Amino acid sequence: MTEVSDEEIATAVQSGNVEAFGELINRYEAKLKRYALKFLNTSEEIEDLVQDVFIKSYTNIQSFDAEQKFSPWIYRIAHNTFVNELKRKGRSGFSIFDADTVLPFIVAKETTDSKALENELVEEMGHMIDRLPLKYREAIVLHYYESLSYQEISEVLKIPVTTVGVRMTRARAKLKELYQANELHHG
Rounded mean pLDDT of the chain? 79
Q: Are residues 59 and 105 in the same domain?
A: no
Same domain, 70 and 116: no
pLDDT score for 10: 94
The answer to whether residue 13 scores a pLDDT higher than 90 is: yes
The confidence score (pLDDT) of residue 50 equals 93
Same domain, 13 and 88: yes
Could you tell me if 2 and 72 lie in one domain? yes
Helix axes 6-14, 70-89, angle to 10 degrees: 80
Q: Which structural domain, as residue segments, surrounds residue 114?
A: 96-187
Q: What is the mean pLDDT of residues 67-86?
A: 89
Among 72, 93, 114, the domain-final residue is 93
- Boundary of a domain, candidates 46, 69, 93: 93
Q: Are residues 183 and 144 in the same domain?
A: yes
CA 84 distance to own-chain centroid: 15
Q: Is the domain of 87 the same as that of 102? A: no
Query: Could you tell me if 62 and 83 lie in one domain?
Result: yes
Look at residue 136 and tell me whether its pLDDT is greater than 50: yes
Where does the pLDDT of residue 34 fall: very low under 50, low under 70, confident under 90, or very high at 90 and above? Answer: confident
Q: Specify the pLDDT at position 75.
A: 92
Lowest average pLDDT, out of 48-57, 62-71, 170-179, goes to 170-179
Residue 97 has pLDDT above 60, yes or no: no
Task: Assess whether pLDDT exceeds 70 at residue 150.
Answer: yes
Q: Are 94 and 39 in contact (CB under 8 A)?
A: yes
Same domain, 138 and 101: yes
Cβ neighbors of 4 (< 8 A, separation 6 or more) are 23
The structural domain count of the chain equals: 2
- Residue 152: phi and psi, rounded to 5, are -65, -40
**Do 141 and 76 share a structural domain?**
no
At a CB cut-off of 8 Å and minimum separation 6, what does 175 contact? 102, 103, 125, 128, 129, 132, 140
Residues 7, 79, single domain; the answer is yes
